[in-house]
Structure 1
Amino acid sequence: MHREEFEQIVQAERDKHRAYEHHINVCTALGCVAYGSEKVVDALEAEVKERGLEHKCKITGVGCLGLCGNGPIMKTEPDNQFYQSVKPSDSADIVDHLGKEPVKRIHLPQNSPFFIGQQRV
């Protein structure tokens, strides 16, 4: 593949990403799957669909977000909020809080001891 082809692919992916106002990335790595993250993805997709937000909010299963023992872990964008121990029943609150203050009972602050000193790549 030539560099130009790669850059076109990257640009196409960025354009797809920008098409949504909000992104909810749910860890679907082994640890979080064991805690039920696939059911969380299903519940979030159903909540978004029920509200007619499919063209504004994208739900994506992603690789490990860290802190597996507190799974399922998820992150919202562009507000950059992390959540822990997420249950399917949290879906409505998560969607309600997109672009607003986080859902406090499941919020995972980025200044928590787990994240301090880490360089995310």
Structure 2
Amino acid sequence: MSGQVKAKSPKAHTIHICAGGGCISAGEISVKEALENEIKNHNVQDKVDIVETGCFGSCSLGPLMVIYPEGVFYQKLKPSDAKEIVEEHLLKGRVVQRLLYKGPSGEIKPRATEEIPFFTRQVRIATRNLGVIDPASIDEYIAKDGYFALRKALSMTPEMVIEEIKKSGLRGRGGAGFP
């Protein structure tokens, strides 16, 4: 993913599967379970890591995953896709074309996080650790300086906090420019 640190793994493949709210509500848990079952059925557990990440931000494309080291982005996944992903992509090295992102004019983008404006125009700040830390682990978050800003804000007056936010130019994640 553009501008992101990718989790290091001694295994042949690392799968980042979005476990954000949108992907969970679209069936991420079932997709992950099906993927784990297929990996086990093909006895390749020692070659593949599955990492649940926080939200990628493209909820309408979920459930979604990125498979490294290739960086291939699969979207709108269903549990029934797991077998084909394991057999074709993980075992044979062939990208599953039908699960790739298709742009407005129908062009296929296998590395969507590096090829479509939704991702390439982002400067990841709050989500810079996507795929690096477990989003459910407060200890991993703190180890990556999580809550540093909170610690600073607690030592400030409310007026100082407001002024700091105004100076930062910080806007809502949705890009609508809400202060």
TM > 0.5: yes
- One-letter code aligned to 2:46: H
Match among 100, 103, 109 for residue 107 of structure 1 = 100
Structure 1 residue runs of 4 or more that deviate by more than 6 Å after TM superposition: none
Residue 38 of structure 2 aligns to a residue whose secondary structure is helix
Residue 119 of structure 2 aligns to a residue whose secondary structure is coil
Match among 54, 59, 62 for residue 50 of structure 2 = 59
**Gap regions ≥5 residues in structure 2:** 1-6, 102-108, 129-179
How many residue pairs align between the two structures? 106
Structure 1 residue 42 corresponds to structure 2 residue 33: yes
Pairing of 1:5-20 with structure 2 (within 5 A): 14=8, 17-18=9-10, 20=11
Q: Deviations over 1:16-67 (max 9, x none)?
A: x22x111111111111000000001000000000000000011221111231
- One-letter code aligned to 1:26: I
- One-letter code aligned to 1:57: V
Structure 1 residue 79 corresponds to structure 2 residue 79: no
| Cα distance between partner residues in 2 of 1:93 and 1:44 | 10
- 2:143 is aligned to none
| Cα distance between partner residues in 1 of 2:82 and 2:59 | 20
| Cα distance between partner residues in 1 of 2:94 and 2:59 | 24
- State percent identity of aligned pairs: 38
TM-score, normalized by length of structure 2?
0.54
- One-letter code aligned to 1:97: H
Q: Compute the displacement of 1:119 (Å).
A: 4.1
| Cα distance between partner residues in 1 of 2:93 and 2:56 | 21
TM-score, normalized by length of structure 1?
0.78
- 1:9 is aligned to none
What value does the CA root-mean-square deviation take over the aligned residues?
1.9
Larger radius of gyration: 2
Residue 79 of structure 1 aligns to a residue whose secondary structure is coil
